[in-house]
Amino acid sequence: LTRKEEDAVSYAGLPRVVKDFLEHDVNNLTFQDWKRYRDQVSGAIGAEKSKTARRDIAIVLKSLDDMGKDFGKTNETTYLLDSRRRCG
């Protein structure tokens, strides 16, 4: 969307999972919340009949997958720090 989400003319026609993504601060998701929401978004793609809506949902799914990579980096960093602490 080119404007603040609610101000865009096309906002009303977006799928609910896309609106949820735009309306919430997804940068503060816990891993568990991210995982559940990602499952909901993934399921919404299969349930959607409109090609345009599926494309919009797929964009959200890609964004969530990118966020998932950050969760993996966080876990990797925590593991490295923990390993260093144990070794002295």
- pLDDT 10s digits, 21-80: 988 888 788 888 989 999 999 999 999 999 999 999 999 999 998 888 877 665 454 444
Spatial contact of 17 and 40, defined as CB atoms under 8 Å apart? yes
- The answer to whether the predicted template modeling score (pTM) of the entire model surpasses 0.85 is no
Spatial contact of 41 and 64, defined as CB atoms under 8 Å apart? yes
Average pLDDT over residues 6-21: 87
Judged against a pLDDT cut of 80, whether residue 82 lies above it is answered with: no
Confidence of residue 5 (pLDDT cuts 50, 70, 90): low
